[in-house]
Amino acid sequence: MTRKNKYSDINEASRKIIEKVKAQELIPDETIKKSWINIENELKKRARFSKIKVLFLAIAASIIVVFISKIFYDNMFFYNDNKEITSISNICFYDTIPQDFEDVALRTETETAIIKDKSQLQYNSGDTYKEKNEEELNHLIVPYGKRIQVILSDGTQMYVNSGTQLIYPSRFIGATRNIFIKGEAFLQVAKDNEHPFIITSESNIKTVVLGTSFNISTQKDSVFSVVLVEGSVKVETSESDIIILKPNEKYLNDGVSQSVNSVNTSEYIAWINYIMYLSGKNLGYVLNDLSIHFGVDIICDPNLRSMPTGGKLDLKKGVDYALSVLSESLDLTYNKNEKGVWIVKKE
Amino acid sequence: MKNLSDLEIWDLCVKGNKKAFEQLYLRYYELLYNYGMKIIDNRFIVSDTIQNLFINLITKYQRLSKTDFVKGYIILSFRNLLFDTLKKRDILSNYTEISDTFSISSLDDYFESEEIMLLQIKKSFQELSSRQQEILYLFYVRNLTHKEISVVLEINIQSSKNLLNRSIIMLKEKISKKGEHI
């Protein structure tokens, strides 16, 4: 092979590499346009806060005026007998859970209660921070690294994962039982055929439940999924699309398209028992998940990110144990720096 | 808005036109996201930083000034904001580490082919320093001009040209050396 040919081969191959990289890095315009909306919302919020300060000064004491998130507009008015609006709820999701929430918290119109060292929250059992009014809205905040089990007034059981917020009434009144979710939870819904149980995600997708157990998850960038274990659910998106799920099916909506696939449900609900299935995911992805679960920062050497992992991780013993098991299986080492960031690297 | 050049869009941004900022966002999101992911492999940090960057630019538009190198300026601002964020979490402790973080961690993500030539190029590329990898990426994949690269890497134009030439020569040498075994 002459020198000239060799270099033209290199150039040709290099060109191919560059084309491949460019193709791999494409991000669809739809996704980018959707993410711009977050910026619009943040800008509106900042503008509104400065306007509200002025309003408070000008309005009489008997009226409460606070801004509310658009999605919940229709659901949060309370009417008296004359169908006049008596108050507007100020309960709505945080875009991201504020740093000052270190423990699970329960917010109502009037107060915020911190729930420390309790793994279960049950309604209808007389503790003071629940059910003050007939249908008081509760905003449950579960920060990263924490989790809690909740039993609602109708007997529905929810296992709520880290980094999740839920809004629901202390008691279910009315034709349907409505709750709102931003994050991930596994629900075992109490059967009541007269009163459908409806969960609405922050992207306004409604999951209508017909007495069953399933895992529901919303993530950033409008990713939404439901994994059905038992029973039957109906998923309605805002495009008036209705999909009915059968057991062992997973519905996924990434903000652009929807899909339904058969899955092994144990992988998706293993988190309830503090187990994480690795199933070949690469190290970078796994560390990200661990980071969310434990509520700590975990990073690794760039060259290690695509290492494949396998098997299961027991998360009950904490982040140190989980990282030690993971590192040993991959011949790596790890440590924690002064700011509490965990770093994984080659031995 | 879509037909305006970067310079024209920027002129509108400097006057506080939100639609102009939106157009800028749509044009540069892909570049910033992929570039950021090579510095820190965490999509939450990277996408949050891009959004914070634009929120800052829009709310403080009065502080912006005219520039001929819009692309370079945006990337540089993004780079700085990203490093500030990483520094806060002690992931980077000092400024010099910045040039060591760029990494296309595994070209395996991009390929299934086992052609010997491609393998050699892959391996050789990964043997280059971070700085060399970075300039090759910016020049060939993201098509930045030397003027723009000089803004992003904070070096002068001649240094940028020299660095690029050295990187290409280095890469070719390594590839040839590997090729001698055939």
pLDDT in tens, A64-112: 323 222 233 333 333 333 333 333 456 777 777 777 788 888 887 777 7
Side-by-side strand order, sheet with A120-122 = A120-122, A148-151, A157-160, A184-188, A213-219, A223-230, A249-253, A258-262
| Contacts with B38 from chain A: Cβ below 8 Å | 302
Cα separation, A266 vs B151, in Å, equals 51
3-state secondary structure of B23: helix
Q: Return the percent helix, strand and coil in chain B, to nearest 5.
A: 75, 0, 25
pLDDT of residue A323: 92
Cβ separation of A43 and B107 shorter than 8 Å? Answer: no
Cβ separation of A13 and B51 shorter than 8 Å? Answer: no
**Could you tell me the pLDDT band of residue A256, with boundaries at 50, 70 and 90?**
confident
Token representation of residue B153: 């890497």
| Contacts with A38 from chain B: Cβ below 8 Å | 51
Cβ separation of B117 and A10 shorter than 8 Å? Answer: yes
| Mean pLDDT value across residues A100-129 | 73
pLDDT of residue A60: 31
Cβ-Cβ pairs closer than 8 A, A with B, add up to 101
| Contacts with B101 from chain A: Cβ below 8 Å | 302
Among chain B residues, CA nearest to A17: B118
Of A10, A25, A299, the CB nearest to B175: A10
Chain A interface test: which of B28, B30, B85 (most A C-beta within 10 Å): B30
> For residue B112, is pLDDT > 60?
no
pLDDT of residue B182: 41
Between β-strands A120-122 and A148-151, what pairing exists: parallel, antiparallel or unpaired?
parallel
**Could you tell me the pLDDT band of residue A47, with boundaries at 50, 70 and 90?**
confident
The listed range with the strongest mean pLDDT (A13-17, A123-127, B152-156) is B152-156
pLDDT of residue A84: 35
Cβ separation of B47 and A35 shorter than 8 Å? Answer: yes
Write the pLDDT tens digit of every residue in B65-108. 888 889 999 999 999 999 888 887 666 655 555 566 676 655 55
**Could you tell me the pLDDT band of residue B115, with boundaries at 50, 70 and 90?**
low
Cβ separation of A338 and B29 shorter than 8 Å? Answer: no
Minimal C-alpha gap between A298 and chain B (Å): 10
Q: Is A95 on the interface with B (CB under 8 A)?
A: no
Residue whose structure tokens are 């709505």: A92
Cα separation, B61 vs B43, in Å, equals 27
| Mean pLDDT value across residues A302-322 | 86
Q: Work out the angle between the directed axes of helices B70-88 and B18-39 (0-180°, nearest 10).
A: 60
pLDDT of residue B150: 93
Cβ separation of A14 and B121 shorter than 8 Å? Answer: yes
Cβ separation of B109 and A341 shorter than 8 Å? Answer: no
pLDDT of residue B10: 92
Which letter does DSSP use for residue A176 in this model?
S
Among chain A residues, CA nearest to B112: A20
Cβ proximity of B121 and A18 under 8 Å: no
Q: What percent of chain A has pLDDT over 90?
A: 3
Cα separation, A108 vs A110, in Å, equals 5
Among chain B residues, CA nearest to A343: B91
> For residue A58, is pLDDT > 50?
no
| Long-range contacts (CB closer than 8 Å, 24 or more residues apart) made by A59-64 | A64/A88, A64/A90
Give the number of other Cβ atoms within 10 Å of residue B128's Cβ.
17
Whole-prediction pTM value?
Answer: 0.45
Give the number of other Cβ atoms within 10 Å of residue A229's Cβ.
18
**What residues pair up with A216 in beta bridges, in sequence order?**
A185, A226
| Mean pLDDT value across residues A185-199 | 83
Chain B interface test: which of A3, A9, A22 (most B C-beta within 10 Å): A22
**Could you tell me the pLDDT band of residue A55, with boundaries at 50, 70 and 90?**
very low
Among chain B residues, CA nearest to A300: B41
pLDDT of residue B52: 92
Q: Is A4 on the interface with B (CB under 8 A)?
A: no
Q: Is A28 on the interface with B (CB under 8 A)?
A: no
In this prediction the ipTM stands at 0.71
Minimal C-alpha gap between A42 and chain B (Å): 8
| Mean pLDDT value across residues B170-180 | 80
Of B54, B90, B107, the CB nearest to A338: B90
CA A322 from centre of chain: 22
| Mean pLDDT value across residues A114-118 | 77
> For residue A131, is pLDDT > 50?
no
pLDDT of residue A12: 78
Q: Is A13 on the interface with B (CB under 8 A)?
A: yes
Minimal C-alpha gap between A26 and chain B (Å): 7
Average pLDDT, chain A: 75
| Contacts with B118 from chain A: Cβ below 8 Å | 13, 16-17
Q: Is A262 on the interface with B (CB under 8 A)?
A: no
> For residue A154, is pLDDT > 70?
yes
3-state secondary structure of A138: strand
| Contacts with A220 from chain B: Cβ below 8 Å | 44, 47
Cβ proximity of A184 and A217 under 8 Å: yes
Contact residues, B window 115-174, toward A, CB-based 8 Å cutoff? 115, 117-118, 121-122, 140-141, 172
| Contacts with A9 from chain B: Cβ below 8 Å | 117
Among chain A residues, CA nearest to B42: A288
Go through chain A and tell me how many residues it has. Answer: 347
Q: Which of the pair, A41 or B94, is modelled with greater confidence?
A: A41
| Contacts with B58 from chain A: Cβ below 8 Å | 39, 43
Cβ separation of A36 and B33 shorter than 8 Å? Answer: no
Instruction: State whether the Cα torsion B90-A300-B97-B36 is positive or negative.
Output: negative
Write the pLDDT tens digit of every residue in A236-247. 876 567 888 888
pLDDT of residue A5: 58
